[in-house]
């Protein structure tokens, strides 16, 4: 392996170690804040980092008068930690530059379909949640759609329908939207219903 290949290998190994650290239990709050941050930026909400705080269950991140419960939607059966551990082992044992490359052929999913997936997920939470309807009516559910090897594309129509949470917002790798907000939801969420950004 040449010096250039070796440098690239070291960078890849370091990046995978950092990813494993980020996806550890210890970094859960930072991941949740990252998702909230993506939504706030997309909605053009001016904020300071210290406005996002860890909150008591059932809320994950408190921001002003919003109480976000952040849920990541992964592919069914996906085990991300195992995935990154396997990539790290492959990178460590690579002898040639080509072994560090990964084949990538992304599939398309429309943002409209992403929103439908998040509605279905939210409805499943209501039926299996440890929180009752009263608690859910005070939760701002924030879904981070993270299917592997999928690129989110138009159409971006956002169907608005009532759900048992105070609000439902969606963050994906390309678009963000508030897809539902009740009358008592925070103003910055109510003012952006149905707009994909």
What does each of the 197 residues of the chain score in pLDDT, given as a tens digit?
A: 455 556 888 888 888 888 777 777 888 999 999 999 999 999 999 999 999 999 998 999 999 999 999 999 998 888 878 887 888 788 888 887 777 777 778 899 999 999 999 999 999 998 886 778 888 899 999 999 999 889 999 988 888 889 999 999 999 989 999 999 999 999 999 999 988 88
Residue 197: inside a domain, yes or no? no
Range of the domain at 27: 3-190
Q: How many domains does the chain have?
A: 1
Q: Is residue 133 part of a domain?
A: yes
Q: Is residue 196 part of a domain?
A: no
The rounded distance, in Å, linking the Cα atoms of 93 and 107 is 29
Tens of pLDDT, residues 161-181: 899 999 999 999 899 999 999
H or E stretch covering 123: helix 111-128
Give the CATH number, domain containing residue 21.
3.40.1540.10
């Amino acid at each position: 392996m040449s010096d250039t290949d070796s440098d690239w290998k070291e960078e890849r190994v370091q990046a995978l170690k950092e990813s494993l650290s980020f996806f550890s239990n210890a970094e859960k709050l930072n991941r949740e804040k990252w998702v909230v941050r993506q939504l706030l930026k997309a909605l053009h909400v001016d904020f300071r980092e210290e406005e996002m705080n860890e909150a008591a269950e059932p809320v994950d991140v408190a921001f002003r008068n919003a109480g976000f419960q952040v849920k990541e939607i992964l592919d069914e059966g996906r085990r991300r930690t195992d995935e990154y551990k396997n990539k790290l082992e492959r990178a460590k044992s690579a002898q040639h530059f080509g072994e560090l490359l990964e084949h990538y052929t992304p599939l398309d999913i429309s943002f409209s379909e992403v929103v439908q997936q998040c509605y279905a997920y939210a409805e499943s939470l209501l039926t299996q949640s440890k929180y009752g309807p009263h608690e859910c009516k005070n939760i701002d559910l924030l879904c981070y759609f993270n299917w592997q090897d999928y690129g989110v594309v138009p159409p971006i129509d956002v169907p608005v329908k009532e759900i048992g949470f105070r609000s439902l917002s969606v963050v994906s790798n390309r678009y963000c939207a508030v897809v539902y907000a009740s009358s008592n939801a925070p103003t910055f969420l109510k003012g952006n219903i149905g707009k994909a950004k």
